[in-house]
Structure 1
Amino acid sequence: MRILVVGAGATGGFFGGRLAQAGRDVTFLVRPRRAEVLRERGLRIVGPGTEEVLRPALVLPGELDGAYDLVLLSVKARALPRALADLAPAIGPGTVVLPFLNGLAHLDAVIERFGSTTALGGVVKVMASLDADGDVRILGTLDGTTVGDMAIGELAGGSSARIERLGRELSGAGFDLTVSTDVRTAMWHKWAFISTLGALTALMRGTVGDIVAAGGAWLGPALLAETAAVAKAAGHPLTEAQLSGITAGLTLEGSTDTASLYRDTAAGLPTEGEHVLGDLTARARTLGIKTPLLDLATLQLRVHDHRLATAAEH
C-alpha cells in the first residue's frame, strides 16, 4: 500500500515516521522549506532519552508521480486549501483520504474536492510538538506508556471491508489504533475537548496551572459546559466519565497543559481559531445553544488574526 503523508509537522511527522519505521511504503508531501530541513537533519523524533532519525522519501508539490492508496492529511487548517490542490495528483479511483485536522469543517472541503466516497473520518492524539530545529519533540505520554493513538472510521458509521483493511495496514506501527464504528462521535468528542482547552488557555494567556493559581479554576468547567452542550445538541453527547476526566485536567494545580491555539498566539502566529472555535460557535447558534464564553474566546482570536493579517499587508 502506497501511503502519502501530507505535512510533516508534529502530527504528520510522528505518525508518518512511525509507519515508515514499521516498514510501510511512506512518502511525505512537503513544501520546499520543510524539505530542506528534512534533507539536512532528517526526520527526527526526539524525547526524554530517545532520538530517532529517519531519512524518509520526500516529494514536493508538482512532483507527484501517480495515485496513492492512502493519503494521510495532516496540516494546519489555514494550509488546507493549498494542501488539497497540492495532493490532487495523488488521487486515483481507489484512493482514500484520511484527514487529521481539528474540528469538522475540513471534511466538507475534502468531500467537495474529491467526493464523498474518498473521505474517511479520523482522530489522532499525540503529545508532541515541532521545535525550533524542526524536530518532532515528544512532550509526554497519553496514558503513562503511549505517546500517540489513532482512531479511523467510515463517516457514515459502521464497518466496511476497506476500513478493516486500512486498520490492518496501520496497526502495529508504534501507536495505538482503533477502527471505530462511530468516528464522527469520536471527532466531536475531541473537538469539544480541544475547544475547551484552547479557549481557556488562549483567553487567559497561560497554562492550566497558571489559571488555577490565579483563582480561575471555575473557568475551564464553565467552558466545558458550553462545548458539551453543543456536542449534545448535535447528537454526540460526552459521557459522564469523559466530562469528569476533562474537568479534572482543567482544574489541576500546577498543570503545564496548553493548547495549540494558545501556543500560536503566544508565538505571534496565525491561529486555527475560525476552524476550531468559529465553526463550533456558528453551529451552536444554528442549534440554539448559547456560548458566551466561547464567543468571547473566538472574538479574541479574531482580533489577534486580524492584527497579523493587517500587519502583513503593510
Structure 2
Amino acid sequence: MRHRIARLAAALSIAGAAHAQTPDSIPEAVRSRVRVVDSTRIQSVHLRDGTALIGRIVVAGTDTIRFRSSIGETGIAVRSIARIDEAPAAALRPNGEFWFPNPNATRLLFAPTGRMLPRGTGYFSDYYIILPGVAYGATDRVTIGGGVSLLPGASTQAFWVTPKVGLYNRERVNLAAGALVIYIPDLDDSPSSSDQGPYGIAYGVGTWGGPDASVTAGVGYAFSNRNVSSQPVAMLGAEARLARRVAFVTENYVIPNFREGPLLSYGLRFMGEQISLDLAFINVARDPIFPGAPFVGFVFNFR
C-alpha cells in the first residue's frame, strides 16, 4: 500500500511539473516577447526570483532560451521569466547603466501618445487621488481603458471609457486614434436627462521620436450627446529623459473660444521600472499665475 501511494505521489509530481512547463501556462506578455532581436535592440529579462539580466536572446525556444549578457551565455527556462523588456541598444549607457523603458510611454501628463500598450500589459492610473482608472492592451493594436470618479460627498459619480486603436506603429513613428467617453448617471435625478452624457472627445494622435525624446501632436473633436463641435481641439506635447529616473513632460492645448488663450502644462516625471509619478503645473498663456495649478498623476504598470 505504501509503495502504491509513493508511486501515485511521484506520478502527480511529474504531471504537475510537466504542466508547469507547457507553453499555455506561460503568460502571454512573456511569450509574446520571447524572440531574437538584432543589434539595434537590447533586452532586460526579469526572473521570478528577482534576478535581472541585460543583454539579448540569441536562441528563442518554446521552453527555454539562450541569453547572452556581459557575463556570458546561459540557458533560461521560459517558465522562470517574470517579464521581458525591450529598448534601443542606446539604453545601455557607456558606463554600463541600463535605462529601463519609460513605464508610462503611452501617455504624456493626461493626454495619450501615439504609442500603444503591448498585448497582455496594462496599467493602473490615478490623478489627484479622486480619478482612478485602468487600461489594458487587448492586442498590440487595441487598448481598452476606463475609470470612475471618487468625489467625496458627491451624490453621483462619473465614469468613462477610453478605447484606443493603433494605426501605425514603428520605432520612431506611432499613430493612433481613440476616444474619451464620459457618462454621469442620475444627474439632476432624472434617468432621461440629456445632461447625463455621453460627453467626451474623439481624437487622432501621433508621436515622433525615440523612447528618451519625442514630440506628440493630436487633434480632437469634442462631443456632447449627439452634438459634435465644428472646431477641433489641438494638442502639442513633448517628453525628454533627463536622467535614468527623471523626465521632463509638457502638454499644451489650443481650445476654440477659450478666452484665456492656449492651456499650458509642464513638469517632471519620476520613474521606477513599473511606476511613474508626474508632478506638474497647469497654466494659461494669457495672464498666467506662476507657477500654475498643481497636477499630480500616478501610474503603476503591470506586465
Q: What range is the shorter-chain TM-score in?
A: under 0.3
TM-score normalised by length of structure 1: 0.26
More helix per residue: 1
Q: Which structure has the larger Rg over C-alpha atoms?
A: 2
More strand per residue: 2
Q: Which has the higher contact order (CA 8 A, sep 6+)?
A: 1
